[in-house]
Amino acid sequence: MNTRQHHLGSGFGARSTTDDVLAGTDLTGRTALVTGGASGLGRETVRALARAGAHVLVAVRDPAGAAEALRGIPGAEPLALDLGDPDSVRACAERVLAAGRVLDLVIANAGIMACPETRLGPGWEAHFAVNHLGHYALVNRLRPALNPAGARVVVVASSGHFLSDIRWDDLHFRTGYDRWLAYAQSKTANALFALHLDALGAAHGLHAFAVHPGSILTPLQRHVPREEQVAQGWMSEDGTPAEGFKSPAQGAATTVWAATSPLLDGHGGAYCQDCDIAGPATTDDMLVGGVKPWATDRDAAARLWELSAELTGVDGFTP
């Protein structure tokens, strides 16, 4: 069964920026945790939330480097986290809990894309392990810190999900690796994670959303050779982003909108893009976006949750 995806008419769009979306929003006294918040869309998300008054825990692999990248953003506090290492995920959550933090927002933003084949821990495929399982375990371990009076989790997915459903019979690409399908599967997993987290979280005052930020040139493309980016039409020879690409402030706008907009009350689990709920995909063109049916399938979301709980040994929500 699919969730209902329909535009709300938010008044914002593809060109809206983080500051447009948060104008007039006061996050003083709120605490957010943003993964991968030292570069690209994550850094812009941190900047915008902090500017609106939030205290922002910035969970990153290199806290010293992050402190440098976040210089000039008051209210941003680096915290060590490697999503590919279950011990690091546990330690990060334990530090947040031990400090008595109450989290109003968790932004599961960190991600890797199109990496050469990499195996983590028990042989897990790296995109699935970092982009999905790491965030699954982190949010589940953070459950006691989520504000019971109302918290939101925003999972940064992608229209990259267009290329693959969950590969139920070969999650870890044992039968042959494809870097784009690996990214795609992990992004479908991000959308399904938000969907089932919302279903289970509602009883705990928690709502979750998935977002596609748009296409933005950031360090995410580090594994894609420049010639390939030009050939794909992402940029011109001189590095100018293609038409339709967004700036980081436009890309992160949907994340901060999903994190804060009262319009989304009652729409938990939705997949969003361009600062609104996305409609069903009507094309295979990822630049146009929308959401494919396999990324909004509630039964698949429940199945993925169960599988993720088995793999990580963590489940903070299932009664």
Ligand X SMILES: NC(=O)c1ccc[n+]([C@@H]2O[C@H](COP(=O)([O-])OP(=O)(O)OC[C@H]3O[C@@H](n4cnc5c(N)ncnc54)[C@H](OP(=O)(O)O)[C@@H]3O)[C@@H](O)[C@H]2O)c1
Active-site annotation, residues: 183
Phi–psi pair at 38, nearest 5 degrees: -105, 0
Question: Is residue 79 within the footprint of ligand X (CB under 6 A)?
Answer: no
Question: Is residue 112 within the footprint of ligand X (CB under 6 A)?
Answer: yes
In our burial notation (b when 16+ CB lie closer than 10 A, e otherwise), range 197-231 reads: bbbbbeebebbbbbbbbbbbbbebbeeeeeeebee
Question: Is residue 142 within the footprint of ligand X (CB under 6 A)?
Answer: no
The residue written with tokens 């941190």 in the block is 46
Coil, strand, or helix at residue 103? strand
Binding mask 216-235 for ligand X (x = CB under 6 A): x-xxx---------------
- For residues 305 and 198, the answer to whether their CB atoms sit within 8 Å is no
Closest CB to ligand X among 85 and 204?
A: 85
The least CB distance from residue 300 to ligand X, in Å, is: 20
Distance (Å, rounded) from C-alpha 127 to C-alpha 184?
9
DSSP states of 143-175: GGGB-TT-EEEEEE--GGGGG----TT-TT-TT
Q: Which stretch binds ligand X (CB under 6 A): 3-11, 71-79, 104-112, 295-303?
A: 104-112
Give residue 293's identity as a one-letter amino acid code.
P
Distance (Å, rounded) from C-alpha 40 to C-alpha 30?
23
Distance (Å, rounded) from C-alpha 251 to C-alpha 212?
8
The least CB distance from residue 159 to ligand X, in Å, is: 7
Distance (Å, rounded) from C-alpha 52 to C-alpha 36?
19
Q: Which stretch binds ligand X (CB under 6 A): 34-42, 70-78, 258-266, 270-278?
A: 34-42
Size of the site for ligand X (CB under 6 A): 29
Question: Is residue 38 within the footprint of ligand X (CB under 6 A)?
Answer: yes
Question: Is residue 111 within the footprint of ligand X (CB under 6 A)?
Answer: yes
> Which residue among 151, 156, 206, 208 contacts ligand X (CB under 6 A)?
156
Closest CB to ligand X among 111 and 269?
A: 111
Nearest alpha carbon to residue 133 among 204, 84, 173: 84
Binding mask 269-298 for ligand X (x = CB under 6 A): ------------------------------
The least CB distance from residue 213 to ligand X, in Å, is: 5
> Which residue among 21, 32, 48, 81 contacts ligand X (CB under 6 A)?
81
Closest CB to ligand X among 204 and 241?
A: 241
Question: Is residue 82 within the footprint of ligand X (CB under 6 A)?
Answer: yes
Q: How many residues are given for the chain?
A: 319
Question: Is residue 41 within the footprint of ligand X (CB under 6 A)?
Answer: yes
Enumerate binding residues for ligand X (CB under 6 A).
Answer: 35-36, 38-42, 60-62, 81-84, 109-113, 130, 156, 158, 212-213, 215-216, 218-220
